[in-house]
Structure 1
Amino acid sequence: MVEQTALKGRNQIIEIEKLIEQMSAEIQEKLPKLYSKDLVEALFKLPYTKRSQLGMAGLGSLKTVGSYLKALENEGFLKSEQVGKEKLYVNYKLLQILKNKGGSMGKYP
């Protein structure tokens, strides 16, 4: 079981690395003025982000990062969800990888 868990974790890391590379290339292509390595890294720290997190990361003013998030959503990189008064932007492809239980491990409690 330990080996299976380790392999699953390793495979998830590989999938996440591929997704980072793919998303970086696609953002560079579709939104070249918006792209930065720091922005992509911020999108992968958690499966969701919000304007204040990007602002605190030094990626721009709240207005600027808000426009970044809207552009990323319009291009299909993120999906927004209203949670109370806050709007969260979900990196749904990352969330899918993290949720994937995979293999026979799903049978065990």
Structure 2
Amino acid sequence: MDQTQLLKGVLDLAVLAVVQDEDGYGYDIVRRLREGGLAEVGDASVYGTLRRLYAAGALTSYVVPSESGPHRKYYGITPIGREQLARQRDDWHAFATTLDGLLAGPAAPAPARGASA
């Protein structure tokens, strides 16, 4: 299945999930997403998501000088971001449960009361 369309709806959630325990700079976050199984995630999509989450107050950022290249802009999750992550995680679980039910097909009808097997 092409993940591109699925990623559009869950990229905020995925980015918040990978920075919840450890801050990261842009390409590091892309790498973590890919290593986590989102191989088709695009660099530009992640950078746009980081900018949008930062503007919304879900992420904080700071610059760390680098001796071997340009300075790196790190992103960390804020309390607003943690609330958003929790809310979106709950939404995702509810959605996945619903979709799993649809994919499983109709449930077998329950036996009539008083019927013996």
Which TM-score bucket, shorter chain as reference? 0.3 to 0.5
**TM-score normalised per structure 1:** 0.46
**TM-score normalised per structure 2:** 0.43
Q: Which has more radius of gyration?
A: 2
More helix by share: 1
